[in-house]
Amino acid sequence: MEAILSRRSIRKYTNQTVSKEIVHELLEAGMCAPSAGNERPWHFIVIEERPLLEEIMKVHQFSKMLNEAPLAILVCADVTCDKYPGTNYWIQDCAAATENILIAAKEKDLGTCWLGVYPKPERVEGIRNIFALPAHVFPFCVIALGHPAEIKAPIVRYDETRVHHNCW
């Protein structure tokens, strides 16, 4: 519970690398997310090459933290896995996988920042072009990842006014 309550978006990173073993564990956490019809539409691209991180910054205006992050994970969805055509459940599936990665990273004392790609057409096409994604694969988000160079205090986000019982 501590990782959930204390997780914050981190935008400053040290130059310390993240081990392949830890990246594997984070991806394993992502793949343990629930998905509609157990279709698991996600695919992940681990991005460690600096020129690719720089290309992302050209097509995503809020991705400047990638300048410092040692790596990023691109979360994608293969929409041909849609067991329920026309529902776009892949969006929820990829969001659940992304959140699992963020929480697992926090548990490992790593910092992350979720950068939304879908549904912005210019971001989707920009990322699609950089990574040569096939037409049936949609880029959902980029997760900046690394050892944090900033400490952010937890924020109490619970708001009783947003809780309703049995009806609005």
What total number of domains does the chain contain?
Answer: 1
Give a yes or no: residue 167 inside a domain: no
Segment (H or E) for 144:
strand 137-146
For residue 82, the model assigns a pLDDT of 79
User: Is residue 62 classed exposed, middle or buried when 0-12, 13-18 and 19+ CB atoms within 10 A define those classes?
Assistant: exposed
For residue 44, the model assigns a pLDDT of 99
Give a yes or no: residue 26 inside a domain: yes
The DSSP line for 71-140 is EEEEEEEEGGG-SSTTS-THHHHHHHHHHHHHHHHHHTT-EEEEEE-TT-HHHHHHHHHHHT--TTEEEE
Give a yes or no: residue 65 inside a domain: yes
For residue 157, the model assigns a pLDDT of 96
Distance CA 154, CA 8 (A): 7
Q: What is the domain extent for residue 90? A: 2-152
Distance CA 148, CA 151 (A): 7
For residue 72, the model assigns a pLDDT of 99
CATH no. for residue 41?
Answer: 3.40.109.10
For residue 73, the model assigns a pLDDT of 99
Give a yes or no: residue 71 inside a domain: yes
- pLDDT in 10s for each residue of the chain, 168 residues: 999 999 999 999 999 999 999 999 999 999 999 999 999 999 999 999 999 999 999 999 999 999 999 999 999 999 998 789 889 999 999 999 999 999 999 999 999 999 999 999 999 999 999 999 999 999 999 999 999 999 999 999 999 999 999 999
Give a yes or no: residue 160 inside a domain: no
For residue 92, the model assigns a pLDDT of 98
For residue 149, the model assigns a pLDDT of 98
